[in-house]
Structures are given as C-alpha cells and as structure tokens.
Amino acid sequence: MPADRPAHDGNSQSSTVLLRRADQLLSHAEDSLNLIAALAIFFLMFVGVAQIVGRTIFDFAIYGYIDWIEQASALFAFLGIAYAQRLGSHIGMDLTMGWQPQNRWKIELFAVVMAIGIITILIYASFTNFLRAYQIGDSTMDIKLPTWPAKLMVPAALSVLWLRLSLQIWGYLRMIAHPDAEPIGIPRLMTIETQVEDEIAEVLGKQDVK
C-alpha cells in the first residue's frame, strides 16, 4: 500500500496540471467571446444613438436598422454565457450556504450534470434551426439579411458553455475526492461569512475587512 501512494499522488498532480491548463485555455476563449459581446453592445448603443439623432435632427434613418439590431443581438445574448458560468455570475438562489463544503460540492455537481444535459439538447435543437435557415436561405423581413450567421452563434456559444460545464464536472469531482485541494475551473465556494465580508468590502470601496 505505501508503495502505491507515490504513484497515486503523481496521478493526482498530473490531473491537476491538466485541469489547470484546460481551464486556462478555455478561459482565454471565454474572455475573447465576452469581449466580442461587450463590443457588440457598445456598437449597438452607438448605432442606436445615431439612429435617434439622425431621425430627430437630420430626418435620416439607418437603412435596415431593426434587422441589424435583431441579428446582432445574438452576439451579446449568448457569447458571454460561458464566461458568466465560469465566474458563477448567473442568477441563482443558494440554499446550501450553511452546509458542509463537501456536501455543497455534491449539490453543485448535480446541478452542473443537469445543466449539461439540457445544454446538449439545446445545442442539437439550435444547430438544427441554423441548418434549416441556411438550407432554405432564410432572411430578415426588411433588407433581406441572411439569418443563418446569427443562428449559428447560438449553438457555437452553447458549445463553449458545454465545454465549461464539462470542465466543472471534472473540477467538482476532484473537490469531492480531495476536499482540501485548491478549486480549479469552478467558481469559488461562498460561505455566509465570505459573502458578508465581500459585500462590506464593496460598500467600503474594496478595503480590507478585518
């Protein structure tokens, strides 16, 4: 038994290194997609202001404004979804903050497994929707923009989310097996105390709370 321990520790370290690298690579992709989503929001704000000023002052409207807005909305609606999942920023209700960490990891694992099942179905359905739009040449009502690029954004963004959820399953399984390990690839486990401290620090301008 003692002779097997170093091999086990070596496998655990190799798994940790692999998980960390996978998390870093996926994080770079998520950051890039989130930046594109942020730029899309900025662009739409700029176009919206130009549309209002143009119609009010110069009696000029951007050609196909509604069609462009509808198609561009897929960018900021979906490209940041995996980024938010990585940070644990999606809206939710935490009923387990008083539980032991290992039990909370199990609940988080269950939730992620359920989520990845739903996302798998959504990827298939949204890709089918994109494929149908591409095959029939679907376009917008006004200026006839093809709709398939925007519809392709949905399964593409959900696929990145699927990868993040898969990585989080790995991370949660690792934390269940090794409760004292450093969390990698998963959101930081919040306790009541840390949440209160973070809220106080935010109110006080990010000052250290002792």
Amino acid 82: pLDDT: 93
pTM here? 0.80
**Mean pLDDT of the 6-25 span:** 78
| Strands annotated E in the chain | none
For the chain, give every domain's residue range.
4-203
User: Quick check: 2 pLDDT over 50?
Assistant: no
Best CA proximity match to 106, nearest among 171, 182, 57, 41? 171
- Do residues 138 and 156 touch, judged by C-beta distance below 8 A? no
Q: Which residue has the higher pLDDT, 198 or 125?
A: 125
**Mean pLDDT of the 150-164 span:** 95
| pLDDT tens digit sequence for 80-122 | 999 999 888 766 666 655 556 667 888 889 999 999 999 999 9
